[in-house]
Structure 1
Amino acid sequence: MAGSSLRSEPPSTRRREMPRDAVRAGNLLIMADLNDPVRLAELRGAVLRADADAILDACVVRAAKLARSPIAVVSLLVRHVQLLRAQHGLPLELAVSCATSRSNSFCQLVVLDEVPLIVDDALRDERVPKELVESYGIRAYAGVPVRAHGHVLGALCVLDVVPRRFDQRIVGALEQLAIDVSGRLSALSLSDAPLASADVQERLVRVEQATRALERALLALSPVIAAAQAATAGPRVDAARGIDASHAPRATHVTPASLRAAVSCWRDMSPVAEELCEEAAAIASASPCEAASGLATEARALARNLAEIGPLVRLAEGVLDGTLGEAAAAKGRALVLRGALDAHEAASAAVQKLRAGALRARAATAGPRSGGAAPPGAA
């Protein structure tokens, strides 16, 4: 890639035109492309898991060594948060939560422009948000796009705590590593292909059952979110962050036992959501009706929202098991609370849509049965 394509020029020498579908938040340009449903559809299943992946972990270690940088990350830009799918050298609370707010990320600019981004001094560079600079002393950044099936999902990036220049040799090496990262993300995405053919009506019954279980689980997660909100922000800070407290779970006294139960509940939700996505994809593949195809879209949205709640849950778990002190956990909560609140609300809405969609799909795909028998589970 020619040096002229690198986003390393200071804002005073390189202007960006604002598209019609863009909005500006402070000094940061936010474009609707980040929420492109086709791009978001690739962020599913194994791609979003927080468990370690040997290939991705090896790539970030290699990136840090090549750049002689203390920190390297594979980031994925979801709707509300930036998920850190693999990392090397992050502060403990970020390593536990595996996320920051999407609006705080440098990598969003890589996704928007689909080219490398070079930041020599983040403190002076008006293109990037300053939260990570102020909280963690991040001063220099180099990030390159990572893709799955042609869509930019995030970035492979290296960061430093001192101002510095990442030269073309380093950027070229990162781009080569990004090929391996992209290949792995594509493989993880393909691992969530639809299951083998089965009776559509039976699958729809299982979708309904899964939505009821997930609805109860989301309700059980409320103590984690309420406790985080109470610990992180009072009403005055809520307003400053744009958090509408009227839509958040009511903060009450939360015992460690209830927090542990909520953490366990969230962990149980993940495989249920993955199975629901598989069922919905198989239904959409087997049935051409609009209601059936909509199920797959809503199921993927639900799975993404659950993944975006995960960072807050992992921080709570870190406090409970002693991995994190309260001060470190508070720094982590400040970065992910808004995203978790939005994702919790969106997940609850997605569950309702899934259940309604399953009922419509059952009616649309029922067809005549011998002897007038009712569809499975209709009683």
Structure 2
Amino acid sequence: MRIVLALWNAPPELLTDESLAKLKADAVVTSVEEAVRRIHRIIDPEEATVVQQAPVPDNDAERVDALKATGVLEGNKREALDALAKRAADVFNTSVAVITTIDKDREYFVGQSGKLPDAITDDTGTLLPMDREHAICNYVLANDKTLVVSDIERDPRFADNETIEQWNVRFYAGAPLRAADGLIIGALCILDSAPRTLEANEIALLETMAADVVANITTSDADEVASVKSAPAASSTTVGQEVPQ
């Protein structure tokens, strides 16, 4: 017999591994959605792992071609994208923000606001690519919309992911980076060490900032020079800007 204990509006202290052992339950869930995924993993873990993976979009080859056409993987936009990631972290007051792109097999971090101490990085603290199947942003591609995970530890799709666990984060929100024809090449993501939620207007703001990122990625160096000489359009957000309430 396996026991799954459902607790609605449970205080955090009841959701720890220590409390789980005291309650003699195989799992504690806080929502119906979590219950379905947890029970599936208990009954048939291999099938659940496959079913709960993000499906590959039908237009994936076209999407990968669009990513490669931007040239962003060559690293020539790194400084500007790091600045945009920092702006996102400041606006939403999160531990870190990253800008990701996903090709056929790998997720690449083309911009980040700061270091993640326990993550796999190079000597400069830059996040190294990870397998696409382990990337939360892969679900942004698959679902074709912004993804908000209020508490990673409560979502079986990610709670058992060793790569994500190294990041020591609990909250994730990723807005798609839509290139030409609506093809999604990656995501602008904000991450925090504590669970949290986003209001509808905050999600809209994150999506607006993601559009700013795409504009930077798809702008050629010549266009950048031209835009400097002309009167630039006002930015949609500024560093340190408060999120509208």
TM-score by length of 1: 0.42
Residue number in structure 1 paired with 2:156: 126
Residue 36 of structure 1: how far off its partner (Å): 1.4
Corresponding residue for 1:96?
126
Q: 2:207 aligns with which of 160, 175, 180?
A: 175
Instruction: Tell me which residue corresponds to 2:5.
Output: none
Higher Rg of the two aligned structures: 1
Kindly indicate whether the alpha-carbon contact (under 8 Å) linking 1:50 and 1:98 is maintained by their aligned counterparts in 2: no
Aligned to 1:148: 179
Q: CA RMSD in A?
A: 3.0
**1:107 has 2:137 as partner:** yes
- Give the counterpart letter for 1:109 in structure 2: Y
What amino acid is the match of 1:119?
A: V
**In the alignment, does 2:53 pair up with 1:29?**
yes
Between Structure 1 and Structure 2, the one with more helix by share is 1
**Partner of residue 160, structure 1:** 192
2: distance between equivalents of 1:188 and 1:11? 44
Question: Which of 98, 102, 125 does residue 77 from structure 1 map onto?
Answer: 102
CA apart distance, 1:140: 0.5
1:27: how far off? 5.9
Corresponding residue of 2:33: 11
- Counterparts of 1:189 and 1:78, CA distance in 2: 23
Distance 1:144 1:174, change over 3 A: same
SS of residue in 1 equivalent to 2:157: coil
User: Kindly, what percent of the aligned residue pairs are identical?
Assistant: 28
Distance 2:188 2:67 in 1: 16
Equivalent AA in structure 2 for residue 11 of structure 1: E
Question: 1:44 aligned to 2:68?
Answer: yes
| Cα distance in 1 between the residues matched to 2:79 and 2:174 | 21
Letter in 2 for 1:69: T
Q: Which runs of 5+ in 2 are unaligned?
A: 1-30, 38-46, 224-245
Q: How many equivalent residue pairs?
A: 176
Give the drift of 1:189: 11
